Amino acid sequence: MSDNLYSHVERAMPDDSSRILLVTESGRECSWREMHEQSGRIARLLLGLGLQPGARVAVQVEKSPEALFLYLACLRAGLVYLPLNTAYRQSELEYFLRDAEPGAVVCRPGSEGDVAGLAGPAAHVFTLDGEGRGSLSDASGSHETHCPAAPARADDLAAIIYTSGTTGRSKGAMVTHGNLISNARVLVDCWGFSQDDVLLHALPIFHVHGLFVANHCVLLAGASMRWHARFDARAVMRDLPRATVLMGVPTFYTRLLSEPGFDQSRCATVRLFVSGSAPLQLDTFQRFEQRIGQRILERYGMSEAGMITSNPLHGERKPGSVGLPLPGNQVRVADERDRPLAQGQAGGIQIRGPNVFKGYWRMPEKTCEEFSADGWFRTGDVGTFDAEGYLSIVGRAKDLIITGGYNVYPKEIELAIDALPGVQESAVFGVAHADFGEAVTAAVVLLPGASLSEADIVQRLKAQIASYKLPKRVVLVEELPRNAMGKVQKNVLRTTFA
């Protein structure tokens, strides 16, 4: 059998292909047969343009069933899928398109002129809107549906995922068919997916979480989806009684908890709530368990490796932990010389396994820099293992604050601040300081009605943490800056409060 991921999707299709694969919020139903036929037509169209295996197809479109079919068509044709955040502006698109040199670009209607100018004359440009209409659908409609999945080896590229680029130049993580297949099969098994499952899919599909993790669990289990174009707490709440699994970022859960009607009766059919892409606050974890009677399953992943660790489906789900290494994944915590550290010691998280990417697109030197001499990928995250082998993330290596010669991990301070009555959430970061090198600084969002001051927060922290870890400054803000996946942008905070 080919190592093309789409071959594995075909094998997982229900015997009755008229079974529903997804239902949109408007009630539109798409069967497995429709998915297979439509992705076949689009694959035929792309191949008819003369695109060869390995050619890139860049996509910046709104979420729709057709956008999913386009992704599957690229896999099927042996092309390399390049998803682009819908929030990217022209200057950002210019970098991605010139770096990747796609043979085809699919964009939103109205953008084709600008995109054609950025992509160059060699690229074919199509449009697709949030309803599945556009020149891509028009052009593919007359093509044959039969299109065998292109032969592929495990190390052939399936996608290029550009990192968020919050610091420095964005890097294109080269993800292979083997990476995706191995990770998807592990997740289907570890999270107990079956044909009976219905995933409520409200994530964007330009990101690993929504594009790979969510879709692949459904596609390789022969399951189905409730397909939401975007997250809306009330719309999600209405659809929860028709779902068995919800995958989301922490913001999903905080917003659901703010809805008065969100209770156990709404979640009676849901067997699993998964959170990732950003740290889940302890308060959110606890309030969710108290109200719904279930513990959210937190996991850890990244563009370069898919999912790495997960709290167990059956077993203890520890608050503040991202769980145990997934089967086949090796995870270690190491010092700056790549030497493994003992349990309880904080160090760089390094990984190895079939899920780890092939390298950075056209950046061989950067790829070499990020791997240790013995073949472990340095994630850039800092973590610790507890006595039972559960991993906790304490921060990013680049977020480490060195103040007066002491190392301070922001996560420890954030946990202490977030536990204070009246605090909703916080972000701790370092700013330049004449005496200390860096000063510990905290941005804090208060709960509605709370009246804590900077002095109150610092005074309450004094009894809990060492003096060198105390924030030199606390700034009260209405909200923390976040990227599209809900991750706090500490680089923005460092610039704002420098």
- C-beta separation of 477 from 444 below 8 A: yes
Q: Which domains does the chain have, with CATH numbers?
A: 5-190 (3.40.50.12780), 400-496 (3.30.300.30)
pLDDT at 165 over 70: no
Which pair of structure tokens corresponds to residue 273? 């709530």
Task: Check residue 168 and give its pLDDT.
Answer: 54
pLDDT at 176 over 80: yes
Task: Check residue 316 and give its pLDDT.
Answer: 97
Band of pLDDT at residue 164, cut at 50, 70 and 90: low
Q: CA-CA distance, 328 to 15, in Å (whole number)?
A: 30
What pTM was estimated for this model as a whole? Answer: 0.85
More confident site: 209 or 411:
209
Residue 236: CB partners within 8 Å, gap ≥ 6?
A: 200, 202, 228, 246, 252, 256
Band of pLDDT at residue 128, cut at 50, 70 and 90: very high
Computed over its alpha carbons, how large is the radius of gyration of the chain? 23
The string of pLDDT tens digits covering residues 290-339 is 999 999 999 999 999 999 999 999 999 999 999 999 999 999 999 999 99
Q: To the nearest whole number, what is the mean pLDDT of the chain? A: 94
Task: Check residue 437 and give its pLDDT.
Answer: 77
Q: CA-CA distance, 80 to 361, in Å (whole number)?
A: 12
Residue 408: CB partners within 8 Å, gap ≥ 6?
A: 400, 401, 402, 430, 440, 468, 469
pLDDT at 259 over 70: yes
Task: Check residue 455 and give its pLDDT.
Answer: 95
Q: CA-CA distance, 330 to 409, in Å (whole number)?
A: 24
Q: Which amino acid is at 378?
A: R
The string of pLDDT tens digits covering residues 111-126 is 999 999 999 898 999 9
Phi, psi of 407 (to 5 degrees): -85, 130
- C-beta separation of 62 from 68 below 8 A: no
pLDDT at 29 over 90: yes
Band of pLDDT at residue 397, cut at 50, 70 and 90: confident
pLDDT at 426 over 70: yes
Task: Check residue 166 and give its pLDDT.
Answer: 41
The string of pLDDT tens digits covering residues 439-478 is 999 999 999 999 999 999 999 999 888 788 899 999 999 9
The string of pLDDT tens digits covering residues 196-224 is 999 999 999 999 999 999 999 999 999 99
pLDDT at 280 over 80: yes
Across the range 52-78, mean pLDDT stands at: 98
Across the range 403-426, mean pLDDT stands at: 87
pLDDT at 135 over 60: yes
Band of pLDDT at residue 167, cut at 50, 70 and 90: very low
